Chains A and B, each alone.
Chain A
Amino acid sequence: MNLAIPTPGIRRRSVTGLWLRHAVSFIRYWKFVITWVLIEPVIILVAVGFGVGKLVDEVDGASSYAEFVTPGLIIGNAMFHALFETSWNAYNRIENDVYETALTTPITITEITMGDILWAVTRSIMTVVGTAIVAALFGWLNHWEAIGIIIPTIMVGITFGALGFLFSAVAPHATFLTLVFTLVASPMFFFSGSFFPISILPDWVEPVAWFMPLTSGVHIARGFAVGSLDISHLWASLYMIALTAFIWPLAIFLLRRRLIR
């Protein structure tokens, strides 16, 4: 395939143009999307923080269960948004020929993934910032370092934004995308150390949990949230970056195979 050789250089307009398209579409439907960006995560936060928190006396490294669970929950939510954008939404854009039309302008497949992942990151940031403000009002984010949660948010947005394409680019039908949630999102949401420290898992599950990229994201976010960062957070970051360096090119390859025939 001739187009398998990407046009050298990245055209900035392609990326901003696609990002703008998503932003315009998002604003049109903001009344509906806001429920997912803000209302749903706050409901979970309140239920777990006030409800489950009453039953748990103490957790390592945090002054209360609510403080422990807050960074995990908001980062988990960032993952859902990034994944949804590049799996379900991107699948619809494939099926409705939105990408095909975009490809009649001077845009490349690589730039399509860049624009979409940039938007996935934007969504992740929106939900994290909104939910974090609510959590801070409840007194569950107490350290100024918590502002740094934006860093794992961006990393999660990129990693899971790229990961979502692996599903949308190969999905034969929309139902296939259920796998995004049953195989990726749900296991990670519950086993990545959001709700309990991974160290309490059986010995054989623990390494599996660390393998999941969200675990690293949650770990970094919690480091910022409780104001205790060490070398382990650097390793977690490098792991996510290494994983993304593998997933993203694969996503580009699969999307190209789907769109350029």
Chain B
Amino acid sequence: MIKAEEIRKIYGEISAVGGISFAVAPGETYGLLGPNGAGKTTTMRMLSGLSPANSGSISVSGIDVVKDNRAVREIMGVVTQHDGLDVGLTVFQNLFLHGFLGGLSRKISQSRAHEVLEFFGLRDRSKANVYELSGGMKRRLAIARSMMTSPKVIVMDEPSTGLDPQSRNRVWEELALLKDAGVTVLLSTHYMEEATILCDRLSIMDHGIILDEGTPDEMIERHAPKEVAQLRVSPLSIRAVRAYLTDQYISFREVGALISVTGVNGDRPDLSRLKDFEGVRTSYRAGNLEDVFLAITGRELRNE
């Protein structure tokens, strides 16, 4: 459905996207996972024609994005990074006018706007001003807007960035419904939960290149430890714990107040002696995409 080959984008001296290739099958939800600045947004913009690629080729449903940009936008819905809602209009008018601009007749655009509002549970906000909506509702409206012309393909830049957990769940539910409806989705994200839950397949991106590609399970299998121990240590014992781990040649990393310990070759590391330290709580979790990213790049996905 979407095929990108060796696409490259250079801004001045800086290479934002350095020749990446990927293909998305019809009905598939495909993710680009990477930290801010990895080149995800640029890739999404190249696909929607908002930022022409310097080289390489992109086609959507067999249509060349460069040669026939208008035709591609006729069959593709786009959710841009910043919602791009029109504050001069109501919720309903935002949808109606987008559909009209997209080529629907006035009548059809109106009825479609009602349908879409119903589908996204925004019907009672139909007459509201856009600036009165919460961040979650704005995001859902932006996604709803991309559905106006019933596209077969939707490109979505960071669908749930900046949302509170509840709104995020709501957006995820709705994206799952789109998938059930057979819509092909390409999304970018820097949330590993989002990528894990939504994507059939994904690419891990960093510094403008794709480092690896596969299903979430494959990626975890390939790169992440089976299990990661997480230690929550009181400030009193933190130094002693660090010294102990170093002493025992147990490798660890600290993220905020959390110490993560990964066993060698996926084995569970022996942390039984940590009971002797005061204020240490140990829990175990399965390896996830966050660990995959760390394993591939040596860096955290999120710098929190």
Residues of A in contact with B (beta carbons under 8 Å apart):
1-3, 7, 11, 13-14, 17-18, 20-21, 24-25, 28-29, 96-98, 100-108, 259-261
Contacts and interface: CB of A to CB of B under 8 A. Distances in A.
A103 B86 contact: no
A157 B78 CA distance: 33
Interface in B101-117: 101-103
Given A20-B97, A24-B97, A97 B70 contact: no
Contacts of B74: 106
Interface residues of B, number: 37
Given A1-B52, A2-B52, A11-B70, A105 B98 contact: yes
Nearest to B51: A261
A26 to B, nearest CB: 9
A96 B89 contact: no
B300 interface: no
A17 B106 CA distance: 10
Nearest to A3: B52
B80 A17 contact: no
B212 to A, nearest CB: 29
Given A2-B52, A260-B49, 13 more contacts: A2-B66, A3-B49, A13-B101, A17-B97, A18-B101, A21-B89, A21-B97, A21-B101, A97-B80, A104-B48, A104-B80, A259-B50, A261-B51
B78 A25 contact: no
Nearest to B74: A106
A100 B84 contact: yes
A14 to B, nearest CB: 7
Contact of B87 (A14, A96, A102, A104): A96
A260 B52 contact: yes
Contacts of A2: 52-53, 66, 69
B101 A17 contact: yes
Given A24-B93, A97-B80, A260 B51 contact: yes
B100 A17 contact: yes
B299 interface: no
B86 A28 contact: no
Given A13-B103, A21-B89, A260-B51, A3 B69 contact: yes
B32 to A, nearest CB: 18
A96 B88 CA distance: 10
B107 to A, nearest CB: 14
B28 interface: no
A25 B88 contact: yes
B89 A106 contact: no
B77 interface: yes
Nearest to A107: B101
Contacts of A108: 70
Interface in B1-48: 11, 45, 48
Nearest to A259: B50
Of the listed residues A13, A25, A106, A108, the one surrounded by the most CB atoms of chain B closer than 10 A to its CB is A106
B211 interface: no
7 contacts: A7-B70, A97-B80, A100-B84, A104-B78, A105-B73, A106-B74, A106-B102
A106 B71 contact: yes
A25 B82 CA distance: 21
B184 interface: no
B81 to A, nearest CB: 9
A261 B83 CA distance: 18
Contacts of A25: 86, 88-89
B146 interface: yes
Contacts of A1: 52
Contacts of B86: 21, 25, 96, 98, 101
B89 A24 contact: yes
Contacts of A7: 69-70
B105 to A, nearest CB: 10
